[in-house]
């Protein structure tokens, strides 16, 4: 089978859609298949779990409001074994669902109602990031070591004092960017632009803050004087 590629993304990627609103799931399936993605569609979490256990996916799109196990819990279950990108769908606009999803390991969120082309663009952005950090873009410098922290860009591997730390693609991208530019302060909007590949918008600060917090927790570096990612108040984030 011929591989379709555009914008650095392999369109043979397998996408999991979990949404009990049949019209939305069916519509997303059509748009993603039009881009030559392989799509598995489920209307409940239990149905999705059977596929997750037996198949390999490159990205998951999860609705939060599901009839059995909600999207938050499903996200947690996926993150126990898998690091592929997760995009959450929420119908709420107050920001609480967004922060909660990001805290549980989601990489992005889209608020309903949305344009299918917007979601497809976000899918491509997430897959592009994974493939870039898998060393498929001609990366020459693959490893960074800082104070017991070791990052391997080609293997998408993070170790702390020899112990493997499981990071999502977004978390890894942030940690790599700060490590690669050690000594440079990045504002929240700069991080968002470079990691998410989008212009900073109203709720972006929460997205960045939650991802930074997730990284600190995984590195067990949540003291008032963190060893790795430090906050320069009013300016941004830095690894010194």
Listed by start position, the domains of the chain span 5-132, 143-239
Supply the pLDDT for residue 105. 82
Please determine, for residue 13, whether its predicted confidence score (pLDDT) is greater than 80.
Answer: yes
Look at residues 105, 126, 116, 120 and name the one whose alpha carbon lies nearest to residue 59: 126
Q: What is the mean pLDDT of residues 28-57?
A: 93
* Banded pLDDT at 134 (limits 50, 70, 90): low
Supply the pLDDT for residue 3. 43
Q: What percent of the chain has pLDDT over 90?
A: 40
Q: What is the mean pLDDT of residues 17-33?
A: 94
Are 5-132 and 143-239 equal in CATH topology? no
Supply the pLDDT for residue 158. 92
Burial 88-101 (b: 16+ CB within 10 A, else e): bbbeeeeeebbbbb
Tokens of 235: 């300016």
d(CA 141, CA 154): 9
In CATH, what class is 143-239? Answer: mainly alpha
pTM score: 0.67
Question: 5-132: CATH homologous superfamily?
Answer: Response regulator (3.40.50.2300)
Please determine, for residue 140, whether its predicted confidence score (pLDDT) is greater than 50.
Answer: no
d(CA 36, CA 53): 24
Supply the pLDDT for residue 90. 85
Q: What is the pLDDT of residues 154-212, one digit of tens each?
A: 888 899 988 999 998 889 999 999 998 989 999 888 888 888 877 655 556 678 888 99
Supply the pLDDT for residue 5. 45
């Amino acid at each position: 089978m011929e591989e379709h590629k555009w914008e650095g993304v392999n369109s043979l990627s397998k996408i999991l859609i979990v949404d009990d609103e049949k019209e939305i799931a069916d519509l997303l399936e059509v748009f993603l298949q039009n881009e030559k993605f392989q799509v598995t569609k489920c209307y409940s979490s239990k149905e999705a779990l059977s596929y997750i256990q037996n198949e390999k996916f490159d990205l998951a799109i999860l609705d939060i409001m599901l009839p059995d196990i909600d999207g938050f819990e499903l996200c947690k279950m996926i993150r126990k074994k898998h690091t592929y990108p997760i995009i959450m769908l929420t119908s709420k606009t107050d920001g609480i669902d967004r922060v909660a999803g990001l805290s549980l390991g989601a990489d992005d969120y889209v608020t309903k109602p949305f344009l299918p082309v917007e979601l497809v663009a976000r899918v491509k952005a997430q897959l592009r990031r994974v493939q870039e950090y898998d060393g498929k873009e001609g990366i020459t410098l693959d490893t960074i070591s800082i104070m017991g922290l070791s990052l391997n860009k080609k293997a998408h591997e993070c170790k702390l004092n020899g112990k493997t730390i499981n990071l999502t693609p977004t978390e890894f991208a942030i940690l790599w960017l700060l490590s690669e530019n050690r000594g440079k302060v990045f504002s929240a909007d700069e991080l968002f632009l470079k990691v998410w590949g989008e212009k900073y918008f109203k709720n972006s600060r929460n997205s960045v803050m939650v991802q930074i917090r997730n990284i600190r927790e995984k590195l067990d570096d949540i003291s008032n004087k963190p060893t790795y990612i430090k906050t320069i108040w009013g300016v941004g984030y830095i690894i010194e």
